Amino acid sequence: MTTTHLIPPTDTHQQAALGATIRWIDPLGAEHTEPATGLLLDAELYLATQIRVGNHYPGQKNYHGYFYFSQVQRHLWHESLLEATMMLWLDLHESIVAITAQPMQIRFADNSTHYPDLFALHGNGRQILYDVKPSAYMTDKVVAQFAKTRALCEQIGWGYRVLHELPAQVRINVNWLSAFRNPRYNPGRAAAELLIKAAAAGPLTILAALRALQMPFSAHARASVYYLVATQVLTIDLTRPLSDASTVTLKDN
Whole-prediction pTM: 0.90
Q: pLDDT tens digits, residue range 43-93?
A: 999 999 999 886 665 665 667 899 999 999 999 999 999 999 999 999 999
Amino acid at 248: V
Q: What is the pLDDT of residue 6?
A: 67
Q: What strands lie across the sheet with 204-205, from one edge to the other?
A: 204-205, 247-250, 234-236
Contacts of 219 (CB under 8 A, 6+ apart): none
Q: pLDDT tens digits, residue range 107-160?
A: 999 999 999 999 999 999 999 999 999 999 999 999 999 999 999 999 999 999
Q: What is the pLDDT of residue 1?
A: 44
Q: What is the pLDDT of residue 236?
A: 96
Query: How are beta strands 127-132 and 159-163 bridged, if at all?
Result: parallel
Q: pLDDT tens digits, residue range 1-21?
A: 455 556 788 899 999 999 999
Q: How far apart (Å, rounded) are the C-alpha atoms in residues 109 and 103?
A: 20
Distances (CA, A) of 194 to 79, 189, 197, 201, 214: 42, 9, 5, 11, 8
Q: Are 101 and 113 in contact (CB under 8 A)?
A: no
Q: Give me the phi and psi of 37, to 5 degrees please.
A: -125, 175
* Number of neighbours of residue 59 by Cβ within 10 angstroms: 4
Looking at CATH, the fold of the domain delimited by 11-163 is given as Trna Endonuclease; Chain: A, domain 1 (3.40.1350)
Q: What is the pLDDT of residue 56?
A: 63
- With a pLDDT cut of 70, the percent of the chain lying above it is 94
Which residues, in sequence order, are bridge partners of residue 160?
A: 129
Domain boundaries, the chain: 11-163, 168-250
Q: How far apart (Å, rounded) are the C-alpha atoms in residues 171 and 89?
A: 9
Q: What is the pLDDT of residue 106?
A: 98
